[in-house]
Structure 1
C-alpha cells in the first residue's frame, strides 16, 4: 500500500472513530509503529489530527473548516454516491448555482451527458477542472479564500444577485434537529445564503456523518430545503422532522 493511500485510510478512520492508536494502525497496515508516527505527524501538520500518547485524535478546532485539498480526499465513495443521486434531479437546459464543497465538485463530474447547462459557481476548483467542457460556467468573481479555493465577498454576492436559477446545489458541515443547516465559516455561508435566495429549489448534499453535528455558522432552516440527498437512511426523528417540513429525502 502506498503511503498516501495509507494516510487516506487513516483519515477516514479518524473521522469515523474520532481517534486512532499507533499500535492498531501498525497491525492494520502491516508497517512499523515508527511509520505510523510519521504519518500522524504529517496529518498533524495538515491540521487534521492532534497527536496524543500512543495515537492521535481528531483536531476539533480545525475539523469544521479543513483545507479543500484535505476535504477532497475524505469519504470519496460517499460523495460519489450522493452526487449520482443528485444527477437524477437535473434536466437538460437547467441553470444551477454550485457551492465550492468537495461533494458539489463530485456532482459536477456527473454532468457530462447533460446538455445546455449553465453553472454559476464560486469554486476555483470547478472553474479550473471543467473549463474545457460543454458546461456554460459563470464565475462569481470575488476575493480568493485560499483555504477552501473559493471566491467570496461583495463582488461574488453582487454577481449571484444578478441571476435567477432553477437550482442551487450545496453541502454543509453540520445538521441539527433544532439548529438546522450549518457551515464552518461566515464568508462562504453568506454567499450560499445569497444563492439560496436566487434559486427555485435547494438541493442539499450531506453524508450521514453530517447529521447531529454542530458547526460554527447557521446557514439555513431545514424548512427551506427541497431535497436532502445522503448516503444512508436517516434516523426516525430525522425522517419525521424532514417530512414535517416537506423535505424530500433521497438515500
Structure 2
C-alpha cells in the first residue's frame, strides 16, 4: 500500500472512531511502527490530525464544520437510510432540488430510475452521480466552494423566478425547536433560504447528530419546514418535542440494499 493510500485509510478510520491507538493502527494497516510514524508526521503537518499520548485523534475544524469528504464517510449507513426514505417521496415527473451535502448526495443514488424527473442542484457530486442517467439535471450558477464541492449562488447568474420546484431536499448542520435549521456558511445559508422561498414542499434530510445544535447562521424556522427525515438513533426527547410543532418528523427504517 502506498503512503497516500495508507494515510487515506488512517483518516477514514479516524472519522469513524475519532481517536486511535498506535497499536490499533499497526495491526489494522499491517505496517511497522516506523512506517506509521512517517504517515502520522505527514498527516500532522497537513493539520489533519493531532498527536496524543499513545495515539492520534482527528483535528477539529477551526470553524466547527467538518469537510464534505469527512462527512461522505461518517454515519454513512444512517445517511443511506435517510436517503432511501427521502426517495420514496419523489415521484415520476417531479421537479426537485437536491442540496449540497453528504446526505442529499446519497438521495441521487436512489432516484436514477425515476421517469421524467428534473433535478436542480448546487452539488457537484450530485451532478456527477446523475451524469449518465436519464434525469434532467440543472446546476445553479455561481461561485465554486471547493471544500464543499458546491456552487454558492449569485442572483445575476441564475434566474430563480423561473423555477417551479415541487420538493426541495435541504441539508443542515443544526436543528433546534426554538431556532429551526442552521448552517456554518453564510453563502450556503443564503442559497438554502432562496430555495425554501421558491419550493412548494421542504424536506430536511439530516442524521440525528445535528439535533440540539444551533450553529452560526440561521436558515429557517421550523414552521417553514414540512418534513424532517432522520435516522433511528434520534433521542426520544426530540421525538416528543416535535409532536408540538407543525413539522412532520419521519424516522427512517433500516437501509436495504
How would you bin the TM-score normalised by the shorter chain? Answer: 0.7 to 0.9
1:94 maps to 94
Deviates more, 1:2-11 or 1:37-46: 37-46
2:227 maps to 227
1:78 maps to 78
1:190 maps to 190
Q: Once the two structures are superposed, what CA deviation does each residue of 1:50-92 show, in whole Å capped at 9, x if it has no partner?
A: 3334334443334733332332222222211111111111111
- Flag structure 2 segments of 5+ consecutive residues without an equivalent: 252-257
1:50 maps to 50
> Would the aligned equivalents of 2:123 and 2:149 in 1 still touch at CA under 8 Å?
yes
SS in 2 for 1:133: coil
Q: Distance in 2 between matches of 1:82 and 1:39?
A: 35
1:110 CA displacement: 0.5
1:126 maps to 126
Q: Distance in 2 between matches of 1:174 and 1:48?
A: 23
- The number of aligned residues is 247
> Would the aligned equivalents of 1:20 and 1:55 in 2 still touch at CA under 8 Å?
yes
2:17 maps to 13
1:215 maps to 215
- Flag structure 1 segments of 5+ consecutive residues without an equivalent: none
Q: Distance in 2 between matches of 1:215 and 1:125?
A: 24
> Would the aligned equivalents of 2:108 and 2:129 in 1 still touch at CA under 8 Å?
no
Q: Distance in 2 between matches of 1:179 and 1:96?
A: 25
Q: Distance in 1 between matches of 2:156 and 2:236?
A: 39
1:64 maps to 64
Structure 2 length normalisation: TM-score?
0.83
Q: Once the two structures are superposed, what CA deviation does each residue of 1:85-120 show, in whole Å capped at 9, x if it has no partner?
A: 111111111111111101111101110221111111
> Would the aligned equivalents of 1:119 and 1:135 in 2 still touch at CA under 8 Å?
yes
Question: Are residues 1:151 and 2:151 paired?
Answer: yes
SS in 1 for 2:73: coil
Bigger CA radius of gyration: 2
2:117 maps to 117
Distance 1:100 1:41, change over 3 A: farther
1:179 maps to 179
1:153 CA displacement: 3.4
1:205 CA displacement: 1.1
2:169 maps to 169
Alignment RMSD: 2.7
Distance 1:101 1:27, change over 3 A: same
1:180 CA displacement: 2.4
Q: Distance in 1 between matches of 2:46 and 2:179?
A: 30
SS in 2 for 1:116: coil
SS in 2 for 1:232: coil
